Amino acid sequence: MGRNTRKRRTPPAARAVAAAAVLALGGGGLVWANFHASAHEPDHRSWGGDATKAAPARVTTVSCPDVGQQLTNVPDAARRDVANELAGLDRQITEAYSRLAATRDAQAKDAGFVQNAIVGPLKEKRAAAIDRIGTDVRRAGGSFDDTLGRLAACTAQTADRTTAGGDGRDGGGGRQNTGGSQNQGGQQNEGRPPGGIGGQAGNGPVAADFVDITKVAPNVQGKPPRLRTASTGTFTTRCGVNANKNHNTDNVIVAPGVANGAHHLHDYVGNQKVDAFADNRTFLQGGTSCRNRADLSAYYWPVVRVQDGSRDFDQDRDGGGKEGNVGRVLTPVQAEIKYVGSPAAKVVAMPRFLRVITGDAKAATNGPVNANAHWSCTGFENKVQLTQQYPICPRGSRVVRSFAFQNCWDGQNTDSANHRTHVAFADPASGVCPPGFKTIPQLTMRLVYAVDPPAVRDGRVVNAYAVDGFPEQLHKAVTDHDDFISVTRDGLAERIADCLNRGRNCA
C-alpha cells in the first residue's frame, strides 16, 4: 500500500510573500540564497509556464492537489487512519501515472482518452478517499472542512506546463525530448513502456534537468546580521555514510504502519531500527551508527542513482524499478551532520521525538513553495546553490546535496497533522522566529557524491544521475527532501544547546 511522503514544510512569513527564500549551506556557515536570486533560476510565477515546448505537447504526468497539506487539525485518535487514507491517495496517483505511461497509443488515437480513462476515474477514487478522511476525523471528535472535496480533481500536465520541460535558463540544460523509446542516456527503457520523457525508466531525468555549474551566475546571499543574543556554536555528529546499506522505501513520519509509503528508497544513518512500523519505543532500542552513542536520532534521505544502464538490487521491487527508480544507488563519500545556532537568539534543546521534514517530494507538481533543495559542486558552494536543476560539475569537483532544516518550534508539539505546522523557518533577513515559536538548534546536512559528470549531447543527457522520488515527479531536482527524528539520551540534547549558546565548536 502506498502513502504520502510529500514533505510538508511551514513557510516563514517572508516566504508567504515571496515564496522564494530558501536556506543554503556554504563555506562552513549558514547563508541565505534567494530561490530566484539568479537570472538562471526561473521565477516562480512562470513555474513551467515558459518551458521549452515539446512538439507535439503531450501529457507527461499527473498533478493532484496535496490533501495532507490542508489537514492541520486531525485528532490524535484519527491520525493513523487518516495517514492510511493519504497513503491510498498516493497509491492512486502512482497507478494513474503508470497507466498514463502505458497507454501512449490510445492517447494518440483519442484526444479524450486521458480525461475519460485516467483523470476522471482518479477524481472519483480521490473523492471517496477524502470522504473517508472526513468520517475518520469526525468520528474522533474533530471538525472537517467539506470544501476539501474540491481537492479530488487532478490535472494531466504536458511537458511545457510542468518542470519536466525545464526552461533552459539555468544555462544550457538542453532541449526537452518527449518522444521515442530511447532514454536520454541512449539506453533502452527497462521495465517501462516506450514513449517516456527520458531516463532509464522512461520518467526522467531529461537534459533540461542539468546545467553546467560554471555557467550559472552566483546566487548565494549573505547571512543575517549577528545580534548580541546570537548562539554562534556548532555541534557535529558523525554517523557515517550508510556504508552498511541500511535502506527501505518506508517513511514512518508521514505514514506509520504503511509499507512502501515513500515509493522510493531511503538511505538511513543514525538510528538503525527505522521503518514504517517503528515507534518511539523502537527508536530508543534501535542502536545507532553515530559515534556518539547517545545520538539515536534518525537521519534519512532519498538515495541518488546513476542512470548508466546498470541495475541495482531493487530493480524488480516496489519503490525501486517497479516505480521508475532505476540505476545504480550511490553511497555518499561524505555525510556531514551538524547543528548550528541562530544569529538572533539563544536556542532551547530539541524535544525528544521531534519529527521534522524539510523540502517537498511533490514539488514538481505542487510548485516550489515548500521546496528546500540545494544542489551544488565542491568549490562552488559559496557561489551557486541550485533548486530546480542538477549541477554538471567540472572535473575534480564533486556533487553536493545540502539541507538546512526548520529552526523554530512551537514549543508544544513533536509533530503536527500535516507534519509542518509545528515547526517553521526563521525570517531570512533577521533570523528571528515567528511569534509563539522557540529557536532550536538548526540541523544541517551536507552529502557529497563522486559522480562522473553527465554530458548533454543533441538534447539528450548521457550518464544522468537523479534523486529517487514518486514516479509522477519525473526525478526533478526540486523534489529533493530530507527527514529527521530527534532521539537523544544522557542529556545530549541539552549539551548540544549549551554548546551552541556558548559559541563553542563541539563534536
DSSP string, 255-301: STT-TT-SSS-EEEEEBS--STT--HHHHHTS-BSSSSTTB--EEEE
Q: What is the pLDDT of residue 160?
A: 53
Q: Quote the pTM value.
A: 0.83
SS (H, E, C) 451-495: CCCCEEECCEEECEEEECCCHHHCCCHHHCEEEEECCECCCHHHH
Region 427-449: mean pLDDT is 98
Region 437-445: mean pLDDT is 98
d(CA 501, CA 503): 5
**Taking each helix axis from N to C terminus, what angle separates 120-139 and 76-102, rounded to the nearest 10 degrees?**
170
pLDDT per residue as tens digits for the range 316-368: 999 999 999 999 999 999 999 999 999 999 999 999 999 999 999 999 988 89
What confidence category does residue 32 fall into, taking pLDDT thresholds of 50, 70 and 90?
very low
Q: Is 70 exceeded by the pLDDT of residue 369?
A: yes
Q: What is the pLDDT of residue 4?
A: 39
Q: Is 50 exceeded by the pLDDT of residue 372?
A: yes
* Grid cell listed for 162: 510542468
d(CA 255, CA 87): 7
**Considering just the CA atoms, what is the radius of gyration of the chain in Å?**
22
The answer for residues whose C-beta is within 8 angstroms of residue 149's C-beta and 6 or more apart is 127, 130, 131
Q: What is the pLDDT of residue 180?
A: 28
pLDDT per residue as tens digits for the range 49-72: 223 233 345 678 999 999 998 998
Geometric angle at alpha carbon 283, from 6 and 489, rounded to 5°: 120
Q: Is 80 exceeded by the pLDDT of residue 383?
A: yes
DSSP 216: S
Average pLDDT, the chain: 84
Question: How many other CB atoms are found less than 10 A from the CB of residue 211?
Answer: 28
pLDDT per residue as tens digits for the range 85-122: 999 999 999 999 999 989 999 999 999 999 999 999 99
DSSP 404: E
d(CA 480, CA 399): 14
d(CA 449, CA 452): 10
Q: What is the pLDDT of residue 297?
A: 98
Asked if residue 477 lies in contact with residue 390, where contact means CB atoms within 8 angstroms, the answer is yes
Query: Torsion angle of alpha carbons 127, 130, 134, 139, nearest 10°?
Result: 110
Nearest to 473, CA basis, from 70, 157, 104, 8: 157
The answer for residues whose C-beta is within 8 angstroms of residue 504's C-beta and 6 or more apart is 233
Q: What is the pLDDT of residue 459?
A: 86
* Grid cell listed for 90: 498516493
Provide the H-helix boundaries in 8-75.
13-18
The answer for residues whose C-beta is within 8 angstroms of residue 105's C-beta and 6 or more apart is none
Q: Is 60 exceeded by the pLDDT of residue 76?
A: yes
Nearest to 341, CA basis, from 353, 350, 329, 351: 350
Gap between the terminal Cα atoms of the chain: 40
Residue 247: which H helix or E strand, with range?
A: strand 247-248
What confidence category does residue 161 fall into, taking pLDDT thresholds of 50, 70 and 90?
low
